[in-house]
Amino acid sequence: MKRLLFITCAALCGLLFFQGKPTEKPAPSPYLDAELPAEVKAVVDQKCYGCHNVNSKNEKGKAKLDWDALTKMKKAKRMAAMDEINEVLTEGEMPPKKFLENKPEGALTEAELATLLAWSSGKKKK
Amino acid sequence: MKRRILLGLALVFVIIQFIPVELPPPDPDRSGDLIGTGLANQEVAQLFKTSCYSCHSNETEYPWYSHVAPSSWLVARDVREGRDELNFSTWLKYDTTRMIRKLDDIASEVGEGNMPMPIYTLMHPSAKLTDEQRELIVAWTETAMDALVGEEEVEEN
């Protein structure tokens, strides 16, 4: 009888790990390393890649932008995607407000935003 | 009873005519137009003219019902949003990166059949695009995007 109780308790505790949102971050993309400047990659890994990757459970995020695919695109497609990233960031649409309500630490700092904007505008540093 | 309802509807129709609506004005200036740049071949240019230019340029030709409420509201909104999203008349105002982006957007909108909008082709059957015409446009966007990338690389060096 005691044993049954113990097993039930253990099972319940085990269930806790299945609940809610996955806290584990996906492994950083191997492609990003080669293609993105280090400071950009650092921000992307931390603030964007969680939803925008090839295995993302966030279907909308994955459909809109997949960083793994982005770095493998040919140049014209990549420029188009970067222009869209630039626009979405300029208009403050990403990360989504809804997402930040639950995860305020996911917001971009001013410096991070500046890094992404400078990179996505495609302008070379002089 | 029936007469009263009809009379009421007629009255509403007359009253809504007085609600102000602003149709985006046509502009004859062609200096910044895509079709002057040589990027689009004649076939594609013609497709754009017949299927896209009503909303995506400053050359809008307004049909009679665009001056009558409530259809005028819909036309005004669609033309305003259409020009805002992509305006072929002011193509040269986009920088190269934005042009590439617009071409990419054209490819997905036309390729996936979202554009021209069904409500537009309902009123303008001649604007409908066949599958072959869609493929032609998508193939052209890819060539044009590569051409623009090439241009930009020359500028950078």
Q: What does chain B look like in DSSP terms, one character per residue?
A: -HHHHHHHHHHHHHHHTTS---PPPP----TT-GGGTT-S-HHHHHHHHHHTTTTSSS-----GGGGSTTHHHHHHHHHHHHHHH--GGGGGGS-HHHHHHHHHHHHHHHHTT--S-HHHHHH-GGG---HHHHHHHHHHHHHHHHHHHHHHHHHH-
Q: Do B100 and A84 touch (CB under 8 A)?
A: no
Q: Do A79 and B101 touch (CB under 8 A)?
A: yes
Q: What is the pLDDT of residue B16?
A: 92
Residue A75 clears pLDDT 90, i.e. is over it: no
Q: What is the pLDDT of residue A126?
A: 37
Q: What is the pLDDT of residue B77?
A: 94
CB contacts < 8 Å between A and B, how many?
A: 31
Enumerate the residues of chain B whose CB falls inside 8 A of the CB of residue A124.
156
pLDDT digits (tens, 9 = 90+) for B52-86: 999 999 999 999 999 998 999 999 999 999 999 99
- What stretches in chain B show pLDDT beneath 70? 155-157
Structure tokens at A11: 């099972």
Q: What is the pLDDT of residue B30?
A: 87
Q: Do B142 and A83 touch (CB under 8 A)?
A: no
For residue A83, the distance in angstroms to the closest alpha carbon of chain B comes to 6
For residue B12, the distance in angstroms to the closest alpha carbon of chain A comes to 40
Task: Let me know: does B75 contact B24? Beta carbons within 8 Å.
Answer: no
For residue B15, the distance in angstroms to the closest alpha carbon of chain A comes to 39
Q: Which of A65, A77, A124 to mutate to test the interface with B (most CBs of B within 10 A)?
A: A77
Task: Let me know: does A66 contact A80? Beta carbons within 8 Å.
Answer: no
Enumerate the residues of chain B whose CB falls inside 8 A of the CB of residue A79.
97, 100-101, 149
Confidence of residue A120 (pLDDT cuts 50, 70, 90): confident
Nearest to A76 among B105, B146, B156 (CB): B146
For residue B51, the distance in angstroms to the closest alpha carbon of chain A comes to 23
CB within 8 Å of A100: residues ≥ 6 apart? A106, A107
Radius of gyration of chain A (CA): 19
**Any CB–CB contact under 8 A between A124 and chain B?**
yes
Indicate the average pLDDT of chain B.
Answer: 91
> Which one, of A45, A40, A59, lies nearest residue A113 by Cα?
A40
Q: Do A82 and B97 touch (CB under 8 A)?
A: yes
Residue A18 clears pLDDT 80, i.e. is over it: no
